[in-house]
Amino acid sequence: MRTLALLATVLLIVSVSAAPVPVEINAVELIVNGGFEDGPEVEVYTSLDEKSDAMKGWIVTRGQIDYCGSHWRAAEGKRSLDLHGSPGYGGVKQTIKTDKGATYRVTFQMAGNPNVGSKKMTLAVWANKQTKGFEFDCTDKSIEDMGWIKQSWDFKADADETVIEIATTMKADEFGGPALDDVSVKRLK
**pLDDT of 78:** 97
**Residue 121: its H or E element:** strand 120-127
**Neighbouring residues of 39: CB distance < 8 A, sequence distance ≥ 6:** 33, 54, 55, 56, 67, 79
The CATH number covering residue 144 comes to 2.60.120.260
- Domain-embedded: residue 13: no
Tens digit of pLDDT for each residue in 90-137?
Answer: 999 999 999 999 999 999 999 999 999 899 999 999 998 999 999 999
> Domain residues for 123?
22-187
Assess if residue 7 is contained within a domain: no
Task: Please say whether the dihedral angle defined by the alpha carbons of residues 24, 27, 33 and 35, taken in this order, is positive or negative.
Answer: positive
pTM equals 0.87
- Residue 127 exposed, middle or buried by CB count within 10 Å (0-12, 13-18, 19+): buried
Q: Is residue 4 part of a domain?
A: no
Average pLDDT over residues 25-51: 92
In a domain, 11, yes or no: no
pLDDT tens by residue, 146-179 = 999 999 999 999 999 999 999 999 999 999 999 9
3-state secondary structure of 2: helix
Domain count across the chain: 1
Residue % of the chain over a pLDDT of 90: 83
The sign one gets for the Cα dihedral 146, 133, 188, 57 is negative
Residue 2 within a domain: no
